């Protein structure tokens, strides 16, 4: 049985006054039927961790460096994220792959660093619009999975987020059939590589314009174990109904 996960990615949004969103989420979901994770910008991470202490919510990072420490101005290590209170880290988000030219190999090294620091890695994969139109979605996702995930992961240390790039922040959402196809494919790839037990334990999130009004339909898709939510995680009024939809899903 996989624990469902509602994860919020605040991206480069939020200052101290937005920490109230966490307090409000904790107030509304005292005994949630799923895991709730918020990944604020790193400037807020420590305060966010303190804010959610003793509640049902955990916090995570949005990226980490592959090295433990060193001359990497502006970067942050997995150990530093953990020290600030993170339990998880998003890795290989398409905005990092695009803005910072992150390759699958970079992402794989970051996952290794996250493992060493005791963090759960949420590894993002997904195709561009052109790749979907060219019928390349499954091969792109297969390459990303093969290249971005090291052999050492387990069902407790890895979450995979399928995020079609054309659906992120656009209001466009794949059909439930399209989501089912890719999630089924990812599950089969994980089984092939890690065996049936670990392959069945790794959680698969869908990400890309998840909103209160489409969440229930997405969560009804087989092999969708939750969501990675960008814009709608910035407000408790938007994120809370998504959490509730996940709690209510079979």
Where along the sequence are the contacts to ligand PEP (CB under 6 A)? 9, 163, 168-169, 207-210, 228-232
Q: Provide the minimum distance between the beta carbon of 129 and ligand PEP in the complex, in angstroms, as a whole number.
A: 14
User: Which lies closer to ligand PEP via its Cβ, residue 208 or residue 226?
Assistant: 208
Residue 127 burial (10 A CB sphere; 0-12, 13-18, 19+): buried
The counts of H helices and E strands in the chain are 10, 8
Q: Provide the minimum distance between the beta carbon of 218 and ligand PEP in the complex, in angstroms, as a whole number.
A: 11
User: Which lies closer to ligand PEP via its Cβ, residue 44 or residue 79?
Assistant: 44
Active site residue 163: yes
Q: What are phi and psi of 66, to 5 degrees?
A: -75, -25
Q: Provide the minimum distance between the beta carbon of 74 and ligand PEP in the complex, in angstroms, as a whole number.
A: 21
Active site residue 183: no
Strand partners, 89: 61, 121
CB-based closest residue to ligand PEP: 230
Report which of 58, 7, 34 is spatially closest to residue 229, judged by C-alpha positions. Answer: 7
Tell me which of 35, 102, 163, 183 is the catalytic residue: 163
Q: What are phi and psi of 210, to 5 degrees?
A: -75, 130
Q: Are 239 and 210 spatial neighbours (Cβ–Cβ below 8 Å)?
A: no
User: Which lies closer to ligand PEP via its Cβ, residue 64 or residue 168?
Assistant: 168
Q: Provide the minimum distance between the beta carbon of 239 and ligand PEP in the complex, in angstroms, as a whole number.
A: 10
Tell me which of 93, 95, 127, 183 is the catalytic residue: 93
CA distances from 174 to 22, 125, 130 (A): 29, 15, 14
Residue 88 burial (10 A CB sphere; 0-12, 13-18, 19+): buried
Q: Provide the minimum distance between the beta carbon of 168 and ligand PEP in the complex, in angstroms, as a whole number.
A: 4
Report which of 206, 223, 22, 37 is spatially closest to residue 215, judged by C-alpha positions. Answer: 206
Active-site annotation, residues: 93, 163
């Amino acid at each position: 049985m996989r624990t469902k996960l509602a994860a919020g990615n605040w991206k480069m949004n939020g200052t101290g006054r937005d920490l109230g969103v966490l307090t409000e989420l904790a107030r509304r979901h005292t005994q949630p039927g799923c895991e709730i994770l918020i990944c604020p910008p790193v400037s807020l991470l420590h305060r966010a961790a303190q804010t959610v202490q003793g509640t049902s919510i955990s916090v995570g990072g949005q990226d980490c460096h592959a090295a433990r420490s060193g001359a990497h101005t502006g970067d942050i290590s997995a150990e530093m994220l953990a020290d600030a209170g993170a339990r998880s880290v998003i890795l290989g988000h398409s905005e990092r792959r695009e803005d910072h030219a992150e390759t699958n190999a970079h992402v794989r090294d970051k996952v290794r660093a996250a493992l060493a620091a005791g963090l759960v890695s949420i590894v993002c994969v997904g195709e561009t619009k052109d790749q979907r139109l060219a019928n390349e979605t499954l091969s792109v996702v297969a390459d990303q999975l093969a290249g971005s995930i090291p052999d050492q992961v387990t069902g407790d240390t890895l979450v995979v987020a399928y995020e079609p790039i054309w659906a992120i922040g656009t209001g466009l959402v794949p059909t439930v059939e399209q989501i089912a196809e890719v999630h089924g494919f990812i599950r089969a790839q994980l089984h092939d590589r890690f065996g049936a037990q670990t392959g069945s334990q790794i959680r698969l999130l869908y990400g890309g314009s998840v909103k209160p009004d489409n969440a229930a339909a997405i969560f009804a898709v087989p092999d969708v174990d939750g969501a990675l939510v960008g814009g709608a995680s910035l407000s408790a009024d938007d994120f809370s109904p998504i959490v509730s939809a996940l709690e209510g899903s079979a």
